[in-house]
Amino acid sequence: MDHRPALHGAAALFVLLTLIYSTSIDIRATRGASITADEPFYLMTTESLIRDGNLDLRNQFRTRAYQAFFDHPLGLWTQSVPLEDGRVLSPHNVGLSVLLLPGFAIDGLVGAQVQLVLIAALTWALAYVLALRLTGARPWLVWGATALVALSATGYIYSSEIYPE
């Protein structure tokens, strides 16, 4: 079986989506902030893992480390109360924070967003290969359908959002 159409199509889709998704990086989440909701808390955990080697966010709140990636004029609210031993932990699972270690270590918020864009584009490229193999349909038809879904508003906006969804 000739795998070239699948590989070429996947590579083309990856490059196209990476270029398009990259334009979502600079879109502001709200009028007041570049990121919002739970995004800063995932990044604070990533920051804590890099700087302190732990999940305790006390240092990040004390030094306002979040100001490097969270620019809301009112600052960052808290989502956690200190534990009995004084530690402050994020209420969110650490999986996404761990995943973002390479990108965040390289270039903070933008590095994490670029990493997510690459992961999203790769996911759709692999979805194309899977759909092509499962359906046996014409490559251009599967490629077009995959691109159409990948370029939906949801695919575009969430490609660089700091969320595990």
pLDDT of 69: 87
The C-alpha atoms of residue 86 and residue 39 are separated, in whole angstroms, by 23
Tokens of 152: 């939906």
Q: Residue 130 — pLDDT band, cuts 50, 70, 90?
A: very high
Q: Can you tell me the distance from the alpha carbon of 130 to that of 127, in angstroms, rounded to the nearest whole number?
A: 5
**Among residues of the chain, what percentage have pLDDT more than 70?**
96
pLDDT of residue 32: 66
Residue 30: predicted pLDDT: 72
pLDDT digits (tens, 9 = 90+) for 50-68: 999 999 999 999 999 999 9
As a whole number, mean pLDDT of residues 57-80 equals 87
How many whole angstroms separate alpha carbon 32 and alpha carbon 133?
45
Look at 13-22, 73-82, 88-97 and tell me which has the smallest mean pLDDT.
Answer: 73-82
Residue 70, pLDDT score? 84
pLDDT at 2: 64
User: Can you tell me the mean pLDDT for 99-114?
Assistant: 98
Per-residue b/e over 130-162, b at no fewer than 16 CB within 10 Å? ebbeeeeeeeeebbeebbeebbeeebbeebbbb
Residue 73: its pLDDT value, please?
79
The chain-wide mean pLDDT, for the chain, equals 92
